[in-house]
Structure 1
Amino acid sequence: MPLYEHVFLARQDLAQAQVDALAETATKIVEDQGGKVVRTETWGLRNLAYRISKNRKAHYVALDFDAPAPVVAELERQTQINEDVIRYMTIRVDAHEQGPSAMMRRGERDRDRGDRGDRGDRGDRRGPRGDRGRDENEG
């Protein structure tokens, strides 16, 4: 069966329990039609690049599943009807990503970097007051 990734954005005023219920509904649609959901990830409440239907933020949810094409059509039809979903996208992929998705790894990467401090490769040698190359004794 073909492999798919389905991501949808839910309204910002929904509780996390309601978002989880939307994900379970999508999972049920896929499984009732003969597909199999491999992974479900909730990316949380995130800022949108632009306002969509008066929403500045949205709850992001991603599903990885393998199912025949009619399942995708039914999932998208049901998603369109739902008023709590403001955007969605389903794409066909060659293989599912192993481990956590890039959105989930992003938080781990930020924690590992910590405070990087000064890069040390600046050629202008600014002092603590922002002056360029002056000696402390110069006026």
Structure 2
Amino acid sequence: MPFYEHVFLARQDLTAAQVETLTEGFTKVLAEGKGRVANSEYWGLRTLAYRIAKNRKAHYVMLNIDAPAAAVAELERQVGLNEDIIRFMTVRVDALSTEPSAMTRRGDRAERGDREAGRDGAPAREGRPERPRREPRAAA
């Protein structure tokens, strides 16, 4: 069966438990279509780049799916009908990733307080060395 990554954004006024219930419902839709969710990740309540339907924030959830195309089409239909979902996207991938997504790794790094993370928890710049500090000039 083909593999997919499905990400949906739920309204900001939902609780995390309600978002989990939505995720379980979508998992059941896939199971009825002879598919399965290999992994699901809740990325949390995050700020949107721009307002969508009067929402400034949204709950992000990613599902790694192993299902036939008909099951994924039914999932997209159900997600599109749900009023609590403001955006979704499904992408076909060659293989399902066994490691955590970049969004999850970023959150783990910020929680651990890595030294290389910036003050705001963002990862440090890669590829550019730090500028050397200049010595103060002596007065003439």
Q: Given the two structures, how large is their TM-score scaled by the length of structure 2?
A: 0.83
Q: Partners of 1:107 and 1:52 in 2: how far apart?
A: 24
Query: Do residues 79 (structure 1) and 79 (structure 2) align?
Result: yes
The aligned counterpart of 1:99 is 99
Does residue 89 (structure 1) correspond to residue 82 (structure 2)? The answer is no
* Per-residue deviation, 1:114: 4.8
- Cα deviations across residues 13-70 of structure 1 (Å, max 9, x unaligned)? 1011110011001101001111011001100000111110011110000101111111
Q: How does 1:21-60 map to 2 (within 5 A)?
A: 21-60=21-60
Whichever residue aligns with residue 55 of structure 2, its letter is: N
| Matching residue's letter, 1:75 | L
The structure whose Rg is larger is 1
Q: Stretches of 4+ moved more than 3 A in 1? A: none
Query: Which residue of structure 2 lines up, in the alignment, with residue 13 of structure 1?
Result: 13
Q: Say whether residues 1:61 and 2:61 are aligned partners.
A: yes
**Aligned match of 1:130:** none
Consecutive unaligned residues of structure 1, counting only runs of 5 or more, are: 127-132
Structure 1 residue 109: deviation in Å? 3.3
User: For this pair of structures, how many residues does the alignment match?
Assistant: 128
RMSD over equivalenced CA pairs, Å: 2.0
Summarize the Cα distance change of 1:122–1:23 in structure 2 as closer, same or farther, 3 Å threshold: same
Structure 2: runs of 5 or more not aligned: 119-123
- TM-score of the superposed pair, with normalisation by structure 1: 0.83
